[in-house]
Every structure is written in C-alpha cells, then in structure tokens.
Amino acid sequence: METTGNYIVFMIIASAGAVMLMLFLIIDIFLSYKNKQLKHQNEVLALNSKYENEILTIKNEVTEQVFNDIAFELHDDICQTLSLAVVQIRQSEDFNGPIDQYISNSRDSILQARDDIKNISHTLSRDYWKNFDINTSLKRLNDKLNNTNRIKTNFNISPDIHFNSKDDEIIVIRVLQELINNSLKHSQASLIEVSLTLESGGIHLIYNDNGIGFNLNTITNGKGLGMISIKQRMKLLKAEWQINSENQKGFRFVSTIPITLSNE
C-alpha cells in the first residue's frame, strides 16, 4: 500500500515537472518569437527612418538647387528682360517717328518678366513638394540648360510615366541633377540626352553625354562623380543600373526602376 502511495506521489511530481518543463518551453518559445518579432519591427523602423532621413536630405538638396536656379533666373533672365524693356523705352524717347513698335516690344518684355516671376512664385509655394511633378521639373531643368548656351539637350520623356510615389520622383530628379552637374563640370560635353520611357520591367532611364568619358575603375569603386550618393539612391529605388564609357568617350547611365502602381 505504501509502495503504491509512493508511486502515485512520484507520478504526480513527475507529471507536474513535465508540465512545468513544457510550460517553460512554451514560454521560452513565445519569448523568443516575440524578441524576433520585436527585432524585426525595430529593423523595419530603422530602415523606414533611414529612408525618411535620406528623402529629407534629397529634398533639402533639391530645394537648394531650386533656390540656385531661381537666383540664376532673377539675375540672368528677369533682370535682362526688364533691362531690355528699359532700353526699348529709352529708344522710344529719342525716336522722333512712330513709337508703337517700341511700346509693343517693351510691353512684351515686361509681360515676359511678369510670367517668369509668376513661375518663380509657384516654385516657392509651400505646396511645392505636395504638387511636385517630374515632367514639369524636367522641363524646367531642360530650359535652364538650354538658356546657358553652353550645351545642347535632348530630353525624351514619355507622357505616361508614373512612379510609385512622389518621393521616387524626387530621387530620380536628384540623380539626374547629379549626373548633369558632373557632365557640366568634368565631361566637356556639348550634348546631354535623357530618356525616360515605360517598359514591361518598369521605368527605363537612359542618360548620355558626348564628353571625354571617365575612368571605369574610379566609377566602379564608387569614387568621384557623386557615385556614392547615386548608388545609395538607386538602392532606395530598388533599381538595377549600370554605367559605361565606350572607348573612354562619353558617359552613359542606364537604369530600370521597378513600379508597382497601375499606369492605366
């Protein structure tokens, strides 16, 4: 009888131990799962924070570029247009004959300056980023280059281009600005070509200049030509890209940017 009682006590203790062990295992598995889940959430938050910080940096860079462009337009375009209007008015004062043509020319110059100032005011609007449009921005960039009379441009932008987000558009604009700045500073190019077309794999971007080329080893190692920032931004876009310089003549940048939104 005593042996039976001891056996029952042993079984109860063993069962309780087994239950406790199972409970500890379940708790350990649960805590391990929660820790992994928390780690994953932290990694996602860190990536999102890094992405948002990079977007903010890019926006600041684009904003600085916009202000530089506005300063250029105010000084070199609007001032020149208004100065021309003043010259036309002075010529009319010294002219003894009919001055209708002088007045008409002066009026056209002043109206042009007014429209230019209106465009600048739109650029300075607090809704600039909200209403940011890559086609408008590229047209502005193309006009700026043509107005310098330093270089010819050929921009081919498909009208049906739609990016995943405004942020992606801003990244692409900043990459193109970086490429153009490098062409202007280093390439001695006389022609810049930009193509943005919609293809089955996504948005196909091609950038070409006809300059003196580059050192492929320097580019591959991420040195010079702002390639470090360009690499980071292509990574943000999850885009495939490559660069080359055939016979060390000209610069060519090709990228395919994936899209997930419907373009219908």
User: How confident is the model over 221-238, as pLDDT tens digits?
Assistant: 555 556 778 888 888 888
Average pLDDT of the residues in 78-95: 74
Where do the H-state alpha helices sit in the chain? 2-72, 79-94, 100-123, 134-148, 166-182, 216-220, 227-236
Q: What is the CATH number of domain 132-264?
A: 3.30.565.10
Q: Are 203 and 197 in contact (CB under 8 A)?
A: yes
Residue 264 is predicted with a pLDDT of 43
pLDDT tens-digit series, residues 171-208: 898 889 888 888 888 888 889 999 999 888 799 999 99
Kindly report the number of other CB atoms within 10 A of residue 76's CB atom.
12
Stretch 161-173: mean pLDDT: 86
Q: Once rounded to an integer, what is the mean pLDDT over residues 3-17?
A: 71
Question: Does the pLDDT at position 74 exceed 80?
Answer: no
Res. 256: pLDDT tops 90: yes
Please give the model's pTM, rounded to 2 decimal places. 0.60
More confident residue, 4 or 177: 177
Question: Within 13 Å, how many C-alpha atoms sit on residue 70's CB side?
Answer: 15
pLDDT value of residue 262 = 52
